[in-house]
Amino acid sequence: MKMKIKDGVNIAGLKSEMILGCVIINDYLNKMPVEFVITSGTDGKHGIGSLHYVGLAVDVRIRDLRPDILQGVVTDLKNRLGVQFDVVLEQTHIHVEYQPK
């Protein structure tokens, strides 16, 4: 399956680091029977100082993932993306941001 972008989501302005992160996420999720859907890019309402606004964060749909594997998916993504990315399981999505330490 290929990466999809939810209707109305804006990815204009995503930085190259975040695009590479999306490629890595897509490669990983392609091994599962789910679609990789970006549900927020540089758009939407986020907290003050959110990295979404500067093209360094995306949100990934989780509704097609079984609840019993979500934490494992987050752990796998953290390992694949490396320490320069934060991967956070939120109630409705996985938030991924590039934030070098």
Q: pLDDT of 2-17, one tens digit each?
A: 789 999 998 999 999 9
Residue 76 has pLDDT above 80, yes or no: yes
Give me the mean pLDDT over the 25-40 stretch. 88
pLDDT of residue 1: 60
> What is the token pair recorded at 73?
């998916």
Distance CA 59, CA 19 (A): 13
